[in-house]
Structure 1
Amino acid sequence: MDWRPRTVQNGGVRLAVVEAGVPDAPTVVLVHGWPDTHHLWDQVAPVLARRFHVVAYDTRGYGESDAPAGDAPYALPELARDLFAVIDAVTDGPAHVVAHDWGSVQTWEAVCTPGAADRIASFVSISGPNLDHLGTWAREKLSRPTPSNVAQALSQVASSAYTVMFQLPVVPKVFFGALGWAPVWRRFLQAVEGTSPSAITVAPSLHRDMISGLRYYRANIRPRLFHPSPGSTDVPVLELVNTRDIALRAAIFDNTPRYASRLWRRDLPAGHWLPYSRPQLIADRATEFIEAVESGSGSPSLDRLAVTGPRGPLAGRLAVITGAGSGIGRETAILFARNGAEVVCSDIDLDGARTTVEAIATLGGTAHAYPLDVSDDAAFAAFTEEVAKAHGVPDIVVNNAGIGLAGSLLDATDAQIRRLVDINLIGVATGSRYFGRQMVERGEGGHIVNLASAAAFTPQRGLGAYAATKAGVLLLSESLRAELAGARIGVSAICPGIVDTKIVSTTEFAGSTGAEQKRRQDRMDAAYRRRGYTPDKVARRILAAVLENRAVVPVTPEAAVGYRVYRFVPALSRRMARTSLV
């Protein structure tokens, strides 16, 4: 990175500042945390510098900046004044700020200062809370000691236990003075973040910075957490919340909407040091946000992240569901919308998809209807491209569309078998491939849900062809789960048993035509109706699978029993298959 160095003074403290990029473009100031210097941004800055005037600096006590003696000079108001001094020195107008860890903590202090909007145009916060907000959050959780509140508070206390040691006067100095920390630090980041050591740039002053930076903890943690005085801000804020953060739990950011009038939030399946592990992701999200603030207009993917009220567990997520015009697909779409997701509803029956969208609209949700024949590869490819262009890359894909085929395999026609395979198996593989590629390229994780069936592991006469396609979906899903694990994309196979859906009344019976076909359909449909297991119950299991990242989900009691019989007593499963249920 071709940085241009300069110096900025704030009172008696000299701050080492570097600049790059387009001088006349909007200014983006990058603020690092502990134990880093401006080198934290060595992979992010070059991407931002293609469009912006990029500025970074070593905060006081780090790198080439001055390190005043004592703890008092490291109180948050002093750090906020440093940020304002840098902004005033490098640009005539307000600057956009992207900050990480303690850099984010001190920027929160700055944006909650009266008049901050005149100097800070926007703020991208990564892995760093406002300490007053955090202190208030902890007090509220412990003042209402429900099991959930206590669990959340204790989880954060456990994650922050290291800060107690960091505030001691002697122990941390001895600890950090005992080793040559650069190689140890690289190995630590590789272990917790999966980051290649070659991607981690540390300053020559790392050892000294680790000890110097402890004054941030001593000067601020106890006063702010024990005696919080939360302020608010009108500066546009984008929170990138890392759900795998070893130091900060995602729940601590749930109260931010109280204090930020213009807030966007994106939860990411990433760890604490995102600037090292996913620099392109930060650059992309920051660019999108900054350009939206500059232009006054957003994008579909950014608009979805706006926090305007209570958040469901799928808030900010885009879900795509095939076969959403009826049955399990419709109920899943409605349930996802109730939980905050924006939903793309596709179905070969466009009117059915539109009816689902109308039902979601009456709930105050957002949904879109598309026609789709999942057996048409070209149409599926065009659909995925259209969805990405119009709405963004989906976070959740539910490959639900399917058909039934019953009767003897010997009576089935080639056309029936091909259609069954094209829809039930190849359609699922196509949706997984096209949308999976988009998710991997975006790099923000996701979840793919594939509808299999209890038939995948409960062989029975009269359902051989159908069971074969669903067994294929099950094994495809388990294999794909392993393939995509490194990209933080979960894959779930949902295996319902006897569920009352439209697929039952439209199932073809091989070898039957006319009145006989209709009689057999009606008989099976009546049996499924008597069973009384409705699609909304399956939808609830699908939602749980996404939230809990479940691999295989047998749905209905008979499916759960069948799954275990097939695994542990396969001979019994084969004997039971001789009884015809259709």
Structure 2
Amino acid sequence: MYLHRVYSEVTLMAEQALQAGPDWRRGSVTNDGVRLATFHLGDESNPTVLLVHGWPDTHHLWTHIAPRLAEKYHVVAYDCRGFGESDRPRGVKPYRLSELADDLFAVAEEVSPDAPVHVVGHDWGSVQAWEAVSRPRARTRIASFVSVSGPNLDHLGQLLHDGVSHPTPRHLRTIAAQSVSSSYTGLFQLPVLPNLLLTAMGAPAAWKRFLHAVEGTPPENVVVADTLRRDMISGLALYRANIRQKLRRPNARITTVPVLQVVNERDIALRPAIYENTPTYASKLWRRDTPTGHWLPYTHPDYLTDTILDFLAAQSDTSPTPASVERARVFTEPRPLAGKLVVITGAGSGIGRETALALAERGCELILADLRPETAEQTAQACKLAGATAHPYELDVADTEAFVAFAEEVRDRHGVPDIVVNNAGIAVAGGALDATDEQLDRLFGVNLRGVITGSREFGRQMVERGVGGHIVNISSAAAFTPSRSLGLYSSSKAGVLLFSESLRAELAEHRIGVTAICPGIVDTAIVSSTPIAGLDPETEKSQRDRLNSFYQRRGFTPDRVAAEIVSAIEHNKAVVPVTPEAKIGYRIYRFAPWLSRIGARRKVAG
């Protein structure tokens, strides 16, 4: 009983300490008669980072982020008007974005009178910061801007107008999807009902349960002010003062302030497609897409902090630009998968090479590994011609120790990959009884153990980082097409298929997708190098030449497989039979396996 009481008291003290947040130094700034409560951390001689919260938060939103930023920067957060310890003007007009942007400049000039500030905004904090960076005044007062889960309403309004005046299927889908996600903003325009609902939700415990239910936000990470219920209701003025006005009469302007746009693909309120016209109005734009939700400062504070620190470092003339920022640069328009870090094994030829080229065209940075370093270098050069950054490596995927070291080197030099394609593979044809032990060991070392090692090593890195990812394992139609001439190869690829399906279930809770790609007859170099067990050298060469000729006549090229791989990543598919015979064989094995067994008796080679 005594121990239980002590434990409860310690737990309560820990929660109270978290709720209190960092040891802020308090201050205030007044703009046009409105007092804004400010909170400071770090050495004031360092460059200033200004943190701007959204609805229904206060400066407490930055509890997990501010202390780490303060190790290098002077950090200032403030409670926006209508929230927390700041004044709450009556009516709707005082909450227009023009007034909020004036507040931001007033705080910036007070806390950093001699140098521009770096701004980080979340939700409505980002919305009002967009208004600020779109003004000419921002050129001398704002050094950079990190936008998290908050669009520029003028950009959004212009996107809506363009969709109405020149409708396309893509525009219409974007408008329809965002209308569903934003339906709550219509409710917020009503006079009485939202006040009643928010009064019920305004208890801190209820709000934490809501965030946990809709986004899986850890309740212990959510830090709210005692004024939460009042903040929710007074903050409705943000929606009433700005949404209709901006969507009806947008005034989209160009900003020259360096902007990093953090796009959360699982944002319950904002669809990623609404940011597609941002490059039109931001001349220095970076974009980072991750499978995360709206309240990133609570769900993944370390990831967001690292992202902010990397971007701030890139704005310095004395520090090298971090690789994560280099690959996030947007020059024209955002592309699917742009800025992702990709590892591909067996990248020197065939499917691996074509997949690298396809992802290079989408703006990925590529780590290209192959047993033959000269072919990896050739693929890297081809990717660079496509405008991508590519790094060649020599790797034998069957050497587990070397593969582990390679994964560690990738993490240390380039970062945790977003996508891994375990493509390296070999084949052995002929009867299982005729194959040598050396052939057997090499086959399973490359095809199965190599895939498992790559999935495990990089999968662990993705889990530790905590913001998802995708693993693609190249299996084969042979995985579900038994054959007397390919039994060993089929079993290695069947292992890849079932391992991938199992790993997909294991990693689902971490938002890491796993795909098994199952090509059929594809014209690659693997056939010309396939040993056929049980044959003398002359007969083996004749059989191999015959098979190679057949594959070439078949004419299904590896770039078509690469296109399926890219689609599988974008749509998080589980199993993808690629060629027509693979799709047919997959269904036969599932619904009429006896046909597969009959077909297995036919000799293909050997």
After TM superposition, is the score higher than 0.5?
yes
Q: Determine the C-alpha separation between the residues in 2 that align with 1:120 and 1:564.
A: 59
Name the residue aligned to 1:186: 208
Q: Structure 1: which amino acid aligns with 2:215?
A: E
Give the unaligned 5+ runs of structure 2: 1-21
Is 1:44–2:53 an aligned residue pair?
Answer: no
SS in 1 for 2:41: strand
Name the residue aligned to 1:293: 315
1:213 maps to which of 225, 235, 244: 235
Name the residue aligned to 1:65: 86
Is the Cα–Cα contact under 8 Å of residues 21 and 54 in structure 1 kept in the other structure? Answer: yes
Q: Determine the C-alpha separation between the residues in 2 that align with 1:196 and 1:365.
A: 37
Q: Structure 2: which amino acid aligns with 1:112?
A: S
Is the Cα–Cα contact under 8 Å of residues 192 and 271 in structure 1 kept in the other structure? Answer: no
Name the residue aligned to 1:543: 566
Cα displacement (A) at 1:11: 2.0
Is the Cα–Cα contact under 8 Å of residues 132 and 230 in structure 1 kept in the other structure? Answer: yes
Cα displacement (A) at 1:54: 1.5
SS in 2 for 1:509: coil
Name the residue aligned to 2:8: none
Q: Structure 1: which amino acid aligns with 2:511?
A: R
Cα displacement (A) at 1:149: 1.4
Q: Determine the C-alpha separation between the residues in 2 that align with 1:420 and 1:169.
A: 70
Pairing of 1:325-404 with structure 2 (within 5 A) = 325-404=348-427
Deviates further, 88-97 or 256-265: 88-97
Is the Cα–Cα contact under 8 Å of residues 327 and 363 in structure 2 kept in the other structure? Answer: no
TM-score (structure 1 length as normaliser): 0.97
SS in 2 for 1:411: coil
1:251 maps to which of 261, 273, 282: 273
Cα displacement (A) at 1:572: 2.8
TM-score (structure 2 length as normaliser): 0.93
Deviates further, 211-220 or 301-310: 301-310
Q: Structure 2: which amino acid aligns with 1:22?
A: D
Give the ranges of 4+ consecutive aligned residues of structure 1 lying more than 4 Å apart after TM superposition: none
Q: Determine the C-alpha separation between the residues in 1 that align with 2:552 and 2:112.
A: 69
1:239-272 deviation per Cα after TM superposition (whole angstroms, max 9, x unaligned):
1001111111111111111211111100010111
Is 1:28–2:45 an aligned residue pair?
Answer: no
Q: 1:66 to 1:428 in 2, by over 3 A?
A: same
Is 1:11–2:47 an aligned residue pair?
Answer: no
SS in 1 for 2:120: strand
Q: Structure 1: which amino acid aligns with 2:104?
A: L
Q: Determine the C-alpha separation between the residues in 2 that align with 1:230 and 1:534.
A: 45
Q: 1:358 to 1:292 in 2, by over 3 A?
A: closer
Pairing of 1:20-419 with structure 2 (within 5 A) = 20-92=41-113, 93-178=115-200, 181-295=203-317, 297-419=320-442
Q: Determine the C-alpha separation between the residues in 2 that align with 1:141 and 1:179.
A: 35
Q: Structure 1: which amino acid aligns with 2:502?
A: S
Cα displacement (A) at 1:195: 1.4
Name the residue aligned to 1:521: 544
Cα displacement (A) at 1:178: 4.3
Name the residue aligned to 2:474: 451
Q: Determine the C-alpha separation between the residues in 2 that align with 1:438 and 1:328.
A: 25
Q: Determine the C-alpha separation between the residues in 2 that align with 1:440 and 1:477.
A: 16
Is the Cα–Cα contact under 8 Å of residues 202 and 232 in structure 2 kept in the other structure? Answer: no
Q: Determine the C-alpha separation between the residues in 2 that align with 1:226 and 1:285.
A: 34
What do you get for the CA RMSD once the two structures are aligned?
Answer: 1.5
Q: Determine the C-alpha separation between the residues in 1 that align with 2:381 and 2:145.
A: 37
SS in 2 for 1:19: strand
Q: Determine the C-alpha separation between the residues in 2 that align with 1:99 and 1:342.
A: 27
Is 1:560–2:583 an aligned residue pair?
Answer: yes
Cα displacement (A) at 1:581: 2.4
Deviates further, 467-476 or 522-531: 522-531
Is the Cα–Cα contact under 8 Å of residues 344 and 423 in structure 2 kept in the other structure? Answer: yes
Q: Determine the C-alpha separation between the residues in 2 that align with 1:359 and 1:263.
A: 26
Q: Structure 2: which amino acid aligns with 1:143?
A: S
SS in 1 for 2:527: helix
Q: 1:51 to 1:364 in 2, by over 3 A?
A: closer
SS in 1 for 2:391: strand
Is the Cα–Cα contact under 8 Å of residues 396 and 446 in structure 1 kept in the other structure? Answer: yes
Is the Cα–Cα contact under 8 Å of residues 279 and 333 in structure 2 kept in the other structure? Answer: no
Cα displacement (A) at 1:285: 0.5
Q: Determine the C-alpha separation between the residues in 1 that align with 2:264 and 2:233.
A: 26
Cα displacement (A) at 1:179: 5.2
Name the residue aligned to 1:512: 535
Q: Determine the C-alpha separation between the residues in 2 that align with 1:38 and 1:513.
A: 77
Q: How many residues align?
A: 582
Q: Determine the C-alpha separation between the residues in 2 that align with 1:37 and 1:14.
A: 15
Q: Determine the C-alpha separation between the residues in 2 that align with 1:414 and 1:324.
A: 27
Q: Structure 2: which amino acid aligns with 1:28?
A: V
SS in 1 for 2:576: strand
Q: Determine the C-alpha separation between the residues in 1 that align with 2:167 and 2:136.
A: 34
1:297-350 deviation per Cα after TM superposition (whole angstroms, max 9, x unaligned):
411221111111233312111222111111111111111112222222221122
Deviates further, 305-314 or 183-192: 305-314
1:497 maps to which of 501, 520, 539: 520
Cα displacement (A) at 1:439: 2.1
Q: Determine the C-alpha separation between the residues in 2 that align with 1:287 and 1:187.
A: 30
Deviates further, 531-540 or 288-297: 288-297
Cα displacement (A) at 1:19: 1.2
Q: Determine the C-alpha separation between the residues in 2 that align with 1:157 and 1:510.
A: 62
Is the Cα–Cα contact under 8 Å of residues 142 and 153 in structure 1 kept in the other structure? Answer: no
Q: 1:41 to 1:179 in 2, by over 3 A?
A: closer
Q: Determine the C-alpha separation between the residues in 2 that align with 1:247 and 1:19.
A: 30
Is the Cα–Cα contact under 8 Å of residues 454 and 554 in structure 1 kept in the other structure? Answer: yes
Q: Determine the C-alpha separation between the residues in 2 that align with 1:124 and 1:311.
A: 17
Is the Cα–Cα contact under 8 Å of residues 321 and 398 in structure 1 kept in the other structure? Answer: yes
Q: Structure 1: which amino acid aligns with 2:471?
A: I
Q: Determine the C-alpha separation between the residues in 2 that align with 1:283 and 1:159.
A: 27
Q: Determine the C-alpha separation between the residues in 2 that align with 1:480 and 1:165.
A: 42
Cα displacement (A) at 1:57: 1.1
